[in-house]
Amino acid sequence: MTRLSTKTGLIVSESELTSYPRPALKRKSYQSLNGSWSFVLFDEKNNIKAEGEIIVPFAIESRLSKVELPLLPNETLIYTLKFELNESVKKGGPLTLLHFEAVDYKASVFLNGHHLGDHQGGYTPFTFEISKYLHDGDNTLIVKVSDPTDTGLQERGKQTLKPGGMWYTASSGIYGSVWLEGVASTYIKDYFIQSDLLNQTIRLDLDVSSPTFNYLLTVYRGNEPVLVRYIKKQSTTLPLEKPIEWSPDNPFLYTFTLESKEDEVSGYFGFRSIRVGLGHKNKPVMYLNNKPYFINGLLDQGYWPESLLTPPSKAALKKDILAAKNYGFNTLRKHLKFEPQMFYYLCDVLGMLVIQDMPNGGIYNFRVMSLNPTLRIRRYDDSKYKTFGRAQTSNRLEFIEMMEVNIKRLKKHPSIIAWCPFNEGWGQFDAKEITQIIRDLDLSRLIDSTSGWFDQGVGDFNSVHEYFLPLKMPREDGRIAFISEFGGYSLPLEFHRFNEKKEYGYKKFSTLADFEAAFIKLYQNKVIPLFYEGLGGVIYTQLSDVEEETNGLLTYDRQIAKLDYETINELFEKLKY
């Protein structure tokens, strides 16, 4: 395998590692625990397999962790960190919160010999209140982790112990930021702001640790205060005169502060609306701010050669988003993973729409989920749990919990326009019920209930994948016609490919000129005509190469763009209303 690196991942500075991880909900009391920890890796017989230094928040399998070893099933990885509490956290209040952004998969956490608790789930953040266990000087934090990867039923996306083709190297252990936060006894846990374009109002929903509170809200347009109110209720509707709408072309963000005698947070929101309306040929399409909007997107799997599921830096995320934007794409479909909150913040700031997938779990059935759909056998009742690899009730409930937690924490980001619970039947179950759960959690977005196949007739999209046959309009059924995966043209480039001997893609090319000509032809002859027939959107596979997959518009190391930015941007002008 070629050891590839992105330019933004060659050197990761301490300031990069310790930067604030939650830009949409900030406090002054903060201490990062990212950086150098010690680790011991025990095999299944409890013998020491490896030990030394590991760099958090990078998975043990990754190069940036400085370890590059797999965490196998039945093995145990133990992290240890000694730290002293900084002054900002001490001044933040009597309570201290310990946050873990992502640990895959099972974690047991100990502080100064006390068992804080256990957590299960590689895609859900978790928090402990630790004030009564802290010492004035050194503190010892221990995290014990195990991960079955694809030998288990848990949500894992495309992680596998045997990478190849469309399955990728696992990311085990701590692979998200770890940090401390000092808070008052009454403090804001989270918020959501829903904008109403028709009535020019916002609804502020607060999740506060106590039922009784009094916060001063100040909303700013730039540096100018435009709304000042005391907030004493969990849900409050407020006027916002002459609001500036958020969109990819004008990603304007209002900022705000919420202050009480004990607590202070800052955040932001975008004033925008998403709904279904009529487009070309009176077909249903997405409306952004009450205007028809064509979803012209890329599949974005968010893998990195040096750091796997964890972005190597903020600059790396920004570079990917801007590459898509410079081509003229307006949407990224974040595929089978969640990103750090910095990604969604950058999409909010830069103006990039996001369709957010849920990571898949269960048992993958090649015949049902790949072979039969390729042969056009795409009708299954997804209440047949065993067929879809979801026979265990606990496994289904764990998926629902993961989905609910992440929708609640991410729905504050205006860039996210749709949720997608299931992709190509992987771990699919009860899509009708799951769609209703999402509706109950978030009425402000669309739902792509079953991307690819095994449609259950619910959600806002008739969502199909097509890699092998000529593109055509999905059947009309009153929902948005959406080709949510297509293309996948492959062009491996020497010295910029993960595996010099293996190539994975759906139509293969050997020169940049032929690759670009085929891409342009695909859009000119198929996508653009379908747009004028009422197609609601497309997602091309994909933004970048990933390991053996060579079907990206960028190489895996992000060193080469395979298409000319200006040429493609001009082409995409024809996909605008």
- Residue 454, SS3 per DSSP: coil
Give the pLDDT of residue 184.
97
DSSP state of 574: G
Cα separation, 406 vs 404, in Å, equals 6
Domain(s) of CATH 3.20.20.80: residues in the chain = 274-575
Tens digits of residue pLDDT in 371-424: 899 888 888 999 999 999 999 999 999 999 999 999 999 999 999 999 999 999
Q: What pLDDT digit, counting tens, does each position of 114-158 carry? A: 999 999 999 999 999 999 999 999 999 999 999 999 999 999 999
For residue 35 the two structure tokens come to: 């950086």
Asked if CATH classification 3.40.50.1820 holds for the domain at 274-575, the reply, yes or no, is no
Tell me which residue of 76, 67, 71, 68 sits closest to 48, measured CA to CA. 76
Above pLDDT 70, what percent of the chain? 100
Query: 145, 95, 86: which is closest to 119 by C-alpha?
Result: 145
Separation of first and last alpha carbons in the chain: 45
User: Buried b vs exposed e over 103-124: b needs ≥16 C-beta within 10 Å?
Assistant: bbbbbbbbbeeeebeebebbbb
Is the pTM higher than 0.95? The answer reads: yes
Q: What is the structure's pLDDT at 510?
A: 97
Distance between CA atoms of residues 346 and 296, nearest Å? 19
Give the architecture-level CATH label for domain 7-183.
Answer: Sandwich (2.60)
Q: Are 116 and 85 in contact (CB under 8 A)?
A: no
- What's the rounded mean pLDDT across residues 482-495? 97
Tokens representing residue 121 in the block: 């789930």
- Which pLDDT belongs to residue 395? 97
**Are the C-beta atoms of 297 and 330 separated by less than 8 Å?**
yes
Residue 7's pLDDT is 86
Looking at residue 174, its amino acid is I
- Locate CATH 2.60.40.10 in the chain: 188-269
Give the model confidence (pLDDT) of 169-192 as tens digits.
999 999 999 999 999 999 999 999
Q: Is the pLDDT of residue 2 over 90?
A: no
State the pLDDT confidence band at 28, using cuts at 50, 70 and 90. very high
196-216: pLDDT as tens digits: 999 999 999 999 999 999 999
DSSP assignments along 176-223, one per residue: S-EEEEEE-SS-EEEEEEEEETTTTEEEEEEEESSS---EEEEEEETT
Contacts of residue 521, defined as CB under 8 A and 6 or more positions apart, other chains included, come to none
User: What does pLDDT average to over the chain?
Assistant: 97
In the chain, list all ranges with CATH 2.60.120.260: 7-183
pLDDT value at 11 more than 80: no
306/8 Cα distance (integer angstroms): 10
Q: Dihedrals φ, ψ of 395, to 5°?
A: -70, -40
pLDDT digits (tens, 9 = 90+) for 403-418: 999 999 999 999 999 9
Cis status of the peptide bond prior to 57, with omega within 30 of 0: yes
Name the nearest CA neighbour of 157 among 302, 316, 369: 302
- The residue assigned the tokens 């060579």 is 550
The reported pLDDT for the residue numbered 122 is 98
* The CATH fold of domain 188-269: Immunoglobulin-like (2.60.40)
